[in-house]
Structure 1
């Protein structure tokens, strides 16, 4: 039986409708660093659709959750 697919950060950004090149991802993360107490899915950096996708996938503990967690860590450099 095959397990859940593993998604990359590039695929997550593409899914969110954002530029998914490595350079664009790094720039996005640098420009949108979140405060320690700011939750990823409550940040104003997302559109409503992006926020909904992130929340739903996180709550389902879906195949995207590891990549979303990685993005959360990378957006909280001071945590």
Structure 2
């Protein structure tokens, strides 16, 4: 198991998305605000494997859960 915080760029790489700062910012702007009644893993912009990775990160891996929570907050404008 990995230890320590992961930056957004590593999460985006794991999701198979462009991971440079401009692409990450564009993704957040394009998909914000995510309505509060939609769980992050259920957002319509994820494919099946991306949703599974998000769900798994939140359920099983505290290291990834922190950056997933940060992405969740960013997408909700928090």
**TM-score > 0.5, shorter chain as reference:** yes
Aligned residue for 2:5, secondary structure, equals: coil
Q: Which runs of no fewer than 5 residues in structure 1 stay unpaired?
A: none
Q: Provide the alpha-carbon RMSD of the alignment.
A: 1.4
1:5 and 2:7 are equivalent in the alignment: no
In the TM superposition, what is the alpha-carbon distance from 1:31 to its structure 2 partner? Answer: 0.5
TM-score relative to the length of structure 1: 0.88
* Residue 55 (structure 1) aligned with residue 47 (structure 2): no
Q: Which runs of 4+ in 1 moved over 4 A?
A: none
Alignment gaps of 5+ in structure 2 = none
| Bigger radius of gyration among the two | 1
The one-character-per-residue Cα deviations of 1:24-71 (angstroms, maximum 9, x if unpaired) are 000000000111222101111101000001101100143101100000
Higher helix fraction (1 or 2): 2
TM-score (ref. length: structure 2): 0.89
